[in-house]
């Protein structure tokens, strides 16, 4: 096949780049220069990044920002956020300051149970399988002891193993549904190692058991955190709206996201702007978090809002519940220098505390978005933050940026308006 390659993973980094440039970039020297200019000049640090994954040819940078003034459970935080989208950090910071002046955020971890499953097929009588499971269950725990010893010393380990009959949905399909406590570790490798040992022990007891796979689940509805804000309705007043007007409109916006999936997806995406940026900054798996959170949002059978609001007895309340499997030890947390910095900035939190911080970031982001949507509109603030991106697209110099930023303090920012302003300035 044209442009196919054999043994690519065994090439040196330089050889990989040379092959790519020759076969996919028409030997363009700029393409090679762009890849190499993002290498870190610290060779030790670059080698560390090279070894995070496979076939590394360069680094892909994202902004590492901070949002100050987060008062969470009466403790002040500066929250690290890794994200490229305009206005996210600014919105989080604005929401943090707004609620700092109204008592701050309250957060609590409701549960920390994580799940893994051994998926297997069995076509005999269920009574025989059930009897076998009851007999062998103590052995399943015993033969994982070498794996669970250190986790148990930290207060974690395997909580339970249950036999689940799924034959109504798929003929012959069963699970060993296993629950875990992994303390400050996210625990993926620990869980998967336990499951594979459980599967090995279990299938050795019957030739009629066919293990299909053993794997953790990223759906963690029992690893749950809640965050909320509340204040008197009158405290929500702005220069344009009374507190009651603001609260009523805000409440309707949340209600719409609760019942309309088209709105709920965008509503929750805004929440994940805050969640993912902190998850990424602290070296956790934002893809796993995304998958689990969206499954949770659809747990009723219809996709719905992750946040909720109420007005009762003159008080406004806004809250979120999120399933979050996070870690502050293991993985990148001990390897990536900026992850270490992020965790140190947060005061070296436990996994539970990090769950609370992440949930608050999501709630703050959603509050800021809904506040804009129901008052000035989302584009006014977002496009002003996006202005620099547009100016950089057109390679505006420092003088042009100063002039145009000043110009758009009193003019509406749109892509076409910025293009016209640049052309007029240069003319």
Which residues are known catalytic residues?
85, 269, 285, 382
Report the chain's C-alpha Rg in angstroms.
26
* Four-point Cα dihedral 18, 20, 23, 27, nearest 10: -60
In contact, 363 and 276? CB cutoff 8 Å: no
Bridge-partner residues for 310, per DSSP?
A: 317
3-state DSSP percent of the chain in helix, strand and coil, to 5: 50, 20, 30
- What is the layout of strands, in order, in the sheet containing 114-121? 157-165, 173-181, 114-121, 210-216
Here the tokens at position 313 are: 């007895």
Q: Which of 44, 46, 18, 47 is nearest to 32 (CA)?
A: 18
**415/373 Cα distance (integer angstroms):** 20
Using alpha carbons, list the distances in angstroms from residue 44 to 48, 49, 129, 283.
Answer: 6, 9, 54, 19
Sign of the Cα pseudo-torsion (28, 34, 40, 41, in order):
positive
Here the tokens at position 138 are: 């103590």
Sign of the Cα pseudo-torsion (97, 100, 106, 109, in order):
positive
Q: Which of 229, 227, 228, 219 is nearest to 323 (CA)?
A: 219
**Cα angle: 90, vertex 245, 94; to 5 degrees:** 10
Residue 107 DSSP label? E
């Amino acid at each position: 096949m044209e442009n196919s390659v054999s043994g690519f993973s065994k090439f040196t980094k330089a050889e990989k780049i040379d092959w790519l440039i020759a076969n996919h970039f028409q030997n363009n020297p700029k393409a090679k220069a762009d890849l190499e200019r993002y290498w870190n000049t610290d060779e030790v640090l670059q080698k560390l990044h090279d070894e995070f994954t496979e076939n590394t040819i360069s680094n892909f940078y994202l902004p590492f920002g901070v949002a100050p003034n987060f008062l969470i459970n009466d403790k002040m935080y500066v929250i690290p956020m890794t994200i490229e989208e305009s206005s996210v950090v600014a919105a989080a910071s604005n929401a943090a300051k707004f609620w700092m002046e109204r008592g701050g955020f309250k957060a609590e971890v409701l549960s920390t149970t994580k799940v893994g499953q051994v998926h297997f097929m069995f076509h005999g009588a269920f009574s025989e399988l059930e009897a076998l499971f009851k007999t062998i269950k103590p052995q399943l725990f015993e033969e994982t002891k070498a794996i669970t010893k250190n986790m148990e010393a930290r207060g974690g380990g395997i909580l339970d193993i249950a036999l689940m009959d799924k034959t109504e949905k798929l003929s012959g399909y069963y699970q060993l549904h296993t629950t875990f406590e992994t303390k400050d570790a996210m625990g993926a490798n620990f869980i998967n190692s336990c499951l594979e040992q459980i599967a090995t022990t279990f299938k050795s007891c019957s030739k009629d058991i066919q293990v299909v796979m053993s794997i953790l689940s990223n759906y963690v509805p029992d690893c749950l955190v809640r965050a909320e804000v509340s204040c008197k309705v009158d405290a929500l007043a702005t220069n344009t709206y009374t507190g009651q007007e603001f609260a009523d409109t805000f409440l309707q916006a949340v209600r719409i996201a609760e019942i309309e999936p088209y709105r709920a997806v965008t509503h929750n995406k805004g929440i994940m702007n805050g969640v993912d940026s902190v998850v990424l900054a602290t070296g956790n798996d934002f893809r796993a978090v995304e998958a689990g959170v969206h499954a949770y949002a659809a747990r009723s059978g219809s996709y719905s809002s992750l946040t909720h609001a109420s007005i009762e007895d003159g008080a406004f309340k806004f809250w979120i519940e999120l399933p979050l499997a996070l870690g502050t030890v293991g993985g990148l947390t001990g390897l990536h220098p900026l992850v270490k910095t992020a965790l140190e900035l947060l005061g070296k939190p436990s996994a539970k505390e990090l769950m609370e911080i992440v949930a608050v970031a999501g709630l703050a982001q959603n509050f800021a978005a809904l506040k804009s949507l129901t008052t000035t509109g989302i584009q006014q603030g977002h496009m002003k933050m996006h202005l620099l991106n547009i100016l950089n697209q057109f390679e505006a110099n420092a003088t042009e940026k100063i002039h145009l930023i000043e110009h758009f303090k009193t003019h509406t920012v749109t892509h076409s308006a910025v293009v016209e302003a640049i052309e007029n300035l240069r003319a």
